[in-house]
Amino acid sequence: MPRHEKLSKGKPDGVTEDRDSKGRFKKGNRSGIKFEPGNQYHCKYTEDMPNKVIEYFSREYMHSGHDATGKVYYWADRPPSFIRFALEIGVWPKTLYKWREEHPEFDEACKISEELAAQQLIDCGLNKAYNVTMAKFILSAKHGLVEKTAVDNNVKIEVELPEDINAEAD
43: confidence class by pLDDT, cuts 50, 70, 90: low
User: What distances in angstroms separate CA 100 from CA 10, 37, 79, 90, 103, one per listed residue?
Assistant: 52, 21, 21, 17, 5
Q: What is the pLDDT of residue 32?
A: 52
Backbone angles phi, psi at 25, to 5 degrees: -70, 140
20: confidence class by pLDDT, cuts 50, 70, 90: low
Q: Is the pLDDT of residue 128 over 70?
A: yes
Give tens-digit pLDDT for 97-116: 999 999 999 999 999 999 99
What's 62's DSSP letter? E
- Sorted by where each starts, the structural domains of the chain and their CATH numbers stand as 35-169 (1.10.132)
Q: What is the pLDDT of residue 153?
A: 79
Whole-number percent of the chain with pLDDT over 70: 72
Q: Is the pLDDT of residue 62 over 70?
A: yes
Q: What is the pLDDT of residue 30?
A: 52
For the chain, give the mean pLDDT.
76
How far is 169 from 166, CA to CA, in rounded Å?
Answer: 5
Q: What is the pLDDT of residue 156?
A: 80
Q: What is the mean pLDDT of residues 86-105?
A: 89
For 63-111, give the DSSP string.
EEEE-TT--EEEEE-PPP-HHHHHHHHT--HHHHHHHHHH-HHHHHHHH
Q: How far apart are the first and last CA of the chain?
A: 100
Q: What is the pTM of this model?
A: 0.56
Measuring CA to CA, which residue among 71, 96, 66 is closest to residue 83?
96
Q: What is the mean pLDDT of residues 88-102?
A: 89
Q: What is the pLDDT of residue 4?
A: 46
Q: What is the pLDDT of residue 130?
A: 79
Measuring CA to CA, which residue among 106, 88, 105 is closest to residue 96?
106
Measuring CA to CA, which residue among 87, 89, 106, 109 is closest to residue 98?
106
Q: What is the pLDDT of residue 53?
A: 94
The beta-carbon contacts of 39-47 under 8 Å, at least 24 apart in sequence, are 40/90, 41/90, 42/90, 43/90, 43/91, 43/92, 43/95, 45/99, 45/102, 45/103, 45/106
